[in-house]
A = this chain, B = another copy of it.
């Protein structure tokens, strides 16, 4: 029998939400946050393409610092009419974003990428449609005043008070929080198989 070799796993994200989600997948991992965020989307780059590229960039950057590890990078993008919404610049910007999201649906895309020694081993993008209820300007201002929207892409957190804005979703919930659990698990299994196929005795 070939000896299976599962390399150590590193999460390239400072987000406590991603960390808590990855713990649910059941793999042991360390956290080494990527040094800096990606810039804005490139000209003509769709939100899905941007989420993938940004996740890959984070995973590759950290994998150069930890060459023996499999490094997982992730990036979550809120998209409305194919425009990516980042984190709001200030409270007024958060109010504008929430007014744009109210009473309609938008998409949340999370790119997840695994890299080793500077090379991408595999990437996934999970997409969830989120339907906001109608919101009054008073409700938007009260939510922004809680401070929750200010550090979140699209100016809301579905796992916090923002839950009260959401009528329904179609797709993976943990993807909206920041890491799609099923897709991440599948990616890690595929990467593990690939590493062991390379290390094995050729039977697979």
Contacts and interface: CB of A to CB of B under 8 A. Distances in A.
A167 to B, nearest CB: 5
Interface string A159-173: 001011011111111
A158 interface: yes
Given A133-B182, A182-B133, A169 B173 contact: yes
Contact of A25 (B21, B164, B168): B164
Contacts of A171: 168-169
Contacts of A161: 24
Given A24-B164, A158-B173, A166-B181, 15 more contacts: A21-B163, A24-B161, A24-B163, A128-B168, A164-B182, A164-B185, A166-B174, A166-B182, A167-B182, A168-B171, A168-B172, A168-B182, A169-B173, A170-B170, A173-B173
21 contacts: A21-B163, A24-B161, A24-B163, A24-B164, A25-B164, A26-B142, A26-B164, A128-B168, A133-B182, A158-B173, A163-B181, A166-B173, A167-B182, A168-B171, A168-B172, A168-B182, A169-B171, A169-B172, A169-B173, A170-B170, A173-B173
